[in-house]
A and B are shown apart, each in its own frame.
Chain A
Amino acid sequence: MKKISVIIRNLPFNTRKNAEALRMSVGLTLREDKVTVIFMDDGVYTPTRTKPEIINVPPPVREFGALTMLKCRLLADKPSLEKRGIKELIENINIVEREEIVRTISESDIIIPF
């Protein structure tokens, strides 16, 4: 069993990129590897409470639902949140210190900055 970390650093709605990173993360669990999704920099906007349907973008409910059900760790970088004044995230996201992000990345067998 490998430890795989997927890192999401970009804004969520300019492209489909972040939604695809989440879909890929779901797929990476199919061989019982341990998948962690890390939100940092502008990527921390991805798990905020938004209404993307207003701009005709499907909300990533299915992706987050599956990742939670599959018990994947979802980590948001605290300094990135503080810098942007983000106080509230959707459920099941762990807000962690930068040290925890660094530890998770260094303990990973595979790192995918998407």
Chain B
Amino acid sequence: MESKDTKSMKLGILLTTSPENENTNTVIEISKAARDEGHEVSIFLMYDGVYNVNNKEFAGLAGKGVEIAICAFNAEQRKVAKVDGILFGSQYDHACIAGDVDRFISFG
């Protein structure tokens, strides 16, 4: 899985915990650091992770070039409303992220 161009890699992140978990801050900091180094970052939110779209700092990652997709089914179950800049997608989007990235980290 070594990327040929180590200068720019694709990083995938799965986040399944709600914003009061310290995982949220870790994901924000890793994503920012990766973007600062010029890496691509894609985050998938599912289970209680969908609540992170209501966290301002987390949702702000979308404006920093981080792609964020969320499991719309879990969002619907938890009455989480759509947020601009975040893809209310599906497990298919998660499969695409997992398939496309050079590195994948799971936060649960």
Contacts and interface: CB of A to CB of B under 8 A. Distances in A.
A30 to B, nearest CB: 4
Nearest to A16: B47
Contacts, number: 50
Given A20-B46, A33-B99, A28 B104 contact: no
Contacts of A31: 92, 95-96, 98-99
Contacts of B90: 27
A2 interface: yes
Interface residues of A, number: 20
A22 B95 CA distance: 14
B17 to A, nearest CB: 10
B83 interface: no
Interface residues of B, number: 17
Contacts of A26: 91
**A23, A27, A29 pick with most chain B CB within 10 angstroms:** A27
Contacts of B47: 16-17, 20
A17 B49 CA distance: 12
A75 interface: no
Interface string B88-108: 001110111011000010101
A109 B94 CA distance: 15
A89 B14 CA distance: 29
Interface of A: 2, 4, 16-17, 20, 23-24, 26-31, 33, 109-114
